[in-house]
Structure 1
Amino acid sequence: MSTAHEPRRRRRRRGGGDGGREMPMVPDVQFTSYYGRPVVKPAPWSHEIAAYLFLGGVAGGSGLLAAGAQLTGRPVLRRNARLAALGAVMLSAAALISDLGRPERFFNMLRTIKLTSPMSLGSWILSAFSTGAGVAAAAEVDRLTGERLPLGPLRGVLRAVEGPAGLEAAVFAAPLAVYTAVLLGDTATPTWHGAHRDLPFVFVSSASLASGGLAMLTTPVAQAGPARRLAVLGVVGDLLATRLMEQRMDPIAAEPLHDGRAGAMLRASERLAVAGGVGTLLGGRNRVVAALSGTALLAASALTRFGVFEAGIESAKDPRYTIEPQKRRLAARRAAGITGDSITTAG
């Protein structure tokens, strides 16, 4: 017999085989990605989009608070909330347009309505809210300036439509505050997609505490009661929704929410939210305490949005956050006896 087969037999004996079959010479490896490159492309968004997320929440919450003040006869709170809603939505739109690069790109998104596209629906929600908030705020500015705006005969029309316009803005307030969470969750970015079920609740709670905090900062305590209640509800909702979101996410996909800059921002957000909520409950009727608490709540909301944004961007850069949750989901489906679909039979 040729000696050419001798090395092979020796390899079999060293590998612990019985000679009837070859044993694997290379140990199993854990697949990451091609040369460690990202599996999904990170979203091409700058931190202007994080500002857009935050300001949209402030605008939506303020629009809702303004409508409540309008219906309950609190003119100072109504005025301040209306002006806050308009200012925040204008800054939000400016941040979005700046990220898009050219203003016409935003208007191009209004050419059609695509019900399956969060970005398309969001553009229309932003536009509809801005229209109502703008009309209501214009009436407040006219009163503030002693009716010196050059409106002429349109002043009577403005007075007639400001109430309906404020309520129209309130209809789109909650969708404005929450649709950006749906937009993030609809992407393939691992951490954002992993949080898609609960992120809307986090964002709407964050918007509530931010708008309540801003109204506490700008409004005398005698009329700021609804703002305090909205802020406290927002704090409770934010803490509960964030905990539930992290528990229901794949633990690997949730890691970026705790690590690095994103983790630092979200931990600071939680501390500021708790401090602002306690200050609102215990000292919200004191003007100084109310202002400090409101500032803490605004900062908490901003850090939440920036932290979630940063966590998503980081999760897209490391292939581990894409691949490992996929493997865990595949193993769970097979363990549950699901073996005949396109997911479990692929590859």
Structure 2
Amino acid sequence: MSLQVLPGFDELVAAMPVAMLVVDPGGRIVLANAASEALLNFSERAMTGQDIDAFVRFDQGFADRRKGRTFAAYDVEIGLGRIGRVRADLVECDIPERPGWTIVTLRTTPGGRAPDRRASARAAIGAAAMLAHEIKNPLSGIRGAAQLLGDGGGASTLTSLITTEVDRIAALIDRMQDFTDTRPLRLEGRNVYPLLDHVREVARAGFARDVPIDERFDPSLPPALVDADALTQVLLNLVKNAAEALDGVEDRRILLATAYRHGMAASAAPGLPRLPLPIEISVIDSGPGAPADIADDLFEPFVSGKAEGRGLGLPLVAKLVRDMGGIVTYAREGEPRRTVFRVLLQRAKT
């Protein structure tokens, strides 16, 4: 069905880089552009004539959204197409001279909400607590060992203890220094699949040896603009995080997936320009996900849902991905619900 509000209207909708749906007065989809096909994972043919509520699913509180002339919701959780519940921006407005007809635009919010002051305060408090715990304990052991040495205790055992505890402090400081490294990464076009193979083999040989690791790869994925070492570290951290999240879960499973997202663009950090980020690498697990009270702050330093966690792994992942010009996101999606970490990267120029 064609909707010729103005000459070339269909072509204009089709060319828009954001997901757009044109909806008739009965709530049925009339037009769907390529960006909406990519976002919702349905073809225009499959969506045309269907009720929009089958593809854009709001909570009950938004049921009356069509009563006003224009409806807008930003950074809200909605169900989209086949991908499940995500956070997104939505604007629904009337089409002039077509009473009851609307245009719906959709944009996922991969970066989530901007960190607020509570997140910063939590990070500062967490830093103090973590440093007090991690450094005070080994220093106490070193002090005790030194006292025993002074009393003529077993030198070999005590010097070994001192060495071990000093090494623990040094390792912690090294990890902290990762966040202050401002040297630019060496970005180049790389096929990500050899890196994924390496990460999978490392995981199978060590921390995920008893967890099935499946694949769902796009065979036509072009080279990504990455630093190979940084991306390997990112993926290892995410797979290790996924394996640890499956502790005590009956159906333990990790999925590595890739996809090419046409029209996906975002800013890696506030103040930076939006860049196309079509290369998607996902690490998906069947675990319970992060506690709800920290889900929005997972990429903040010293925020962790693990009893023994230091809250440094995911912030380092975010930093490395940001240094490659990309973004990393967390979501709970699908039925049954799964944890999804998505790394979105630039495509290498050819």
- Say which one has the larger Rg: 1
Q: TM-score, normalised by structure 1?
A: 0.23
Higher relative contact order (CA 8 A, sep 6+): 1
In terms of fraction of residues, the more strand-rich structure is: 2
Q: TM-score, normalised by structure 2?
A: 0.23
